[in-house]
Structure 1
């Protein structure tokens, strides 16, 4: 039963790398396409807002389809999109290349998560999604920084070309090795799933994801630019720093998977508290090797943990419709990513790079207060 989850984790690596690889490439893309870094950051916003707008609807619709065929189709779509990105002559074609995979990401992530939970049972949802999440963390550990290193050596277009080839290879692996699984809970109608949105508790959980991801990506979207301009690092060193940031995320992924099975909201508050410390300390420690490493380590651990905690938190809040609940987290999280990229770009243009950590921490602090309020709310009825 473990091997299918590992296959989905490997595919998830490619899916999430496609979304986040651009974080390390923004300075290069901006220079090559003759736009500012804050304008290039709108590519992050476009991807995220597309996921947020269409994710729940596409997931609810595609939940009826046979999983193997669906996952392979999504990976082929990602391969085509990354190929287009590698050849994009201007920001408009690049925007199209980012729009296409944004339609497939929420469907894959939500339904792969549901499939993993089905295999192990809801009591171990955190641990199951931890294994799926391992692919996400590896995207941060290897995908984003290796993409940055490839960009530094061969140009940013090469990073997207390599990712296109990897997506095709993963599609072939799923075709050969992933067992055929039918849609589960096909009797759950679109109407019954969307009834979840009328619950104030579910609305609160979605808002919590929006706030958390807004805070994370107000700063993280421009981390490569911070390291280049404030720390004075070249592209290669930025790549290694991003790899270290992702590597400590393996710790966060493991800690988050265990903590969220005990109490999702307490886990969210604890990790967010430490995240504020890492974000705020980053710029003051920018010229201290030990200080910078410590700040990035705390931020990296907590950010990886919050990817997982947020996802499982929504699924546990609506156990009768976990895939749709997961898609709501993905939508809320990506709305937050898009808002964070917008806010971060505005902060850079008005207050400067050094203010990003404080702006980001404002979102995280509000999310902690919301989590505290949600702890007193009544759970959703299982028959909703």
Structure 2
């Protein structure tokens, strides 16, 4: 039972690294392609908005396919897209290279999560997805910062080139070791799946994901720029800081996996409350080694936890269609990521880098208020009947 989950976790590492590696490379990409950092940040928005707009539809359609060839095909597409990114001569080709993997990410992440839950059962969904989510945490612990270090040493294009090779290697591993799977249970109809969107409770949970991820990525999208321009760090030190940020996320992933199985909304509020503290303290502590480490540590733990908590929270609301519910979370989260990147860029242009933490905290505060409101709504699962 464990090996398939670990294989999917390793593949998830590559998938999520492809989405987020650009965070550490934005300053270098902007300089090389001769655009501003906020303009380069729109590449984050493009990826995220594509996932948000098409993710649920693609997931609902591909849920009927056998998992093994589907996952392998997605990884091959990621390898091609990262190769294009490594060779991109301008921002437009780079945008195309970011568009392609955005089509595959929601399908992989939602169906891999459903597969993990099928293996262990719904009572241990949080722990199972925590194992899949370990690949996400590793993407922030190793993928993003190592990409930054590679960029500093050999250029940002080499980071995408290496990621393309890694994607090919993961596709080969899945082909050799992942057992062939069948669609075990009858596929829930498209009408029933999209009928979930008639539920105010489901809509509320999706909006909560949008708010949480808007807050996180208003600041996180530009963290490398903050560390370069405000803290005065060089590219190598920025890479190590990002690695530390991701490393503490291992703690958040573990805590989130345990807390979300007990009460998803309470877990959301607890982690969001601590996240506000980290975000608000970041800029005032920028020139204090201990203060900066503490602020980034709190932020890193809570951010990793909220990736997992948000995902499981939606799946528990609709246990009869967990993959589609997961895709709705992925869509909402990526809508938030795109909005956050755009809001962060506007904040930088209008108020400066120093205001990002406070703008981000505002989103997170609103998300806590929404979670409190959702706790007053009937907590049972959304009805499967779509009419």
Please give the secondary structure, in 1, of the residue aligned with 2:35.
coil
Alignment of 1:161-172 (within 5 A): 161-172=161-172
Please give the secondary structure, in 2, of the residue aligned with 1:299.
helix
Aligned equivalents of 2:65, 2:316: Cα separation in 1: 23
1:106 match: 106
The alignment status of 1:278 with 2:281, answered yes or no, reads no
1:8 match: 8
CA deviation map 1:176-198 (0-9, x unaligned): 00001112433311011000001
2:260 match: 260
1:204 match: 204
1:91 match: 91
Report if the CA contact (8 A) 1:77-1:101 is conserved: yes
Gaps of 5+ in 1: none
2:46 match: 46
Aligned equivalents of 2:275, 2:130: Cα separation in 1: 20
Gaps of 5+ in 2: none
CA deviation map 1:66-123 (0-9, x unaligned): 0000000000000000000000000000000000000000000000000000000000
Aligned equivalents of 1:381, 1:43: Cα separation in 2: 35
How far did residue 381 of structure 1 move? 4.2
Report if the CA contact (8 A) 2:67-2:182 is conserved: yes
Alignment of 1:139-288 (within 5 A): 139-288=139-288
The alignment status of 1:69 with 2:60, answered yes or no, reads no
How far did residue 382 of structure 1 move? 4.5
How far did residue 383 of structure 1 move? 3.5
Aligned equivalents of 1:214, 1:201: Cα separation in 2: 20
CA deviation map 1:14-65 (0-9, x unaligned): 0000000000000000000000000000000000000000000000000000
Please give the secondary structure, in 2, of the residue aligned with 1:41.
helix
Please give the secondary structure, in 2, of the residue aligned with 1:243.
helix
2:381 match: 380
1:60 match: 60
Aligned equivalents of 1:44, 1:180: Cα separation in 2: 34
Report if the CA contact (8 A) 2:192-2:384 is conserved: no
Report if the CA contact (8 A) 2:63-2:187 is conserved: no
1:331 match: 331
Aligned equivalents of 1:183, 1:101: Cα separation in 2: 24
Tell me the C-alpha RMSD between the 2 structures: 0.6
Aligned equivalents of 2:43, 2:64: Cα separation in 1: 31
Aligned equivalents of 2:202, 2:289: Cα separation in 1: 43
Report if the CA contact (8 A) 1:201-1:380 is conserved: no
Alignment of 1:97-136 (within 5 A): 97-136=97-136
2:367 match: 367
Aligned equivalents of 1:73, 1:118: Cα separation in 2: 22
The change in CA–CA distance for 1:238 and 1:381 in structure 2 (over 3 A counts) is: closer
Aligned equivalents of 1:166, 1:187: Cα separation in 2: 32
Report if the CA contact (8 A) 1:63-1:186 is conserved: no
Deviates more, 1:374-383 or 1:239-248: 374-383
Count of residue pairs brought into register by the alignment: 384
Please give the secondary structure, in 1, of the residue aligned with 2:117.
helix
Please give the secondary structure, in 2, of the residue aligned with 1:232.
coil
How far did residue 287 of structure 1 move? 0.4
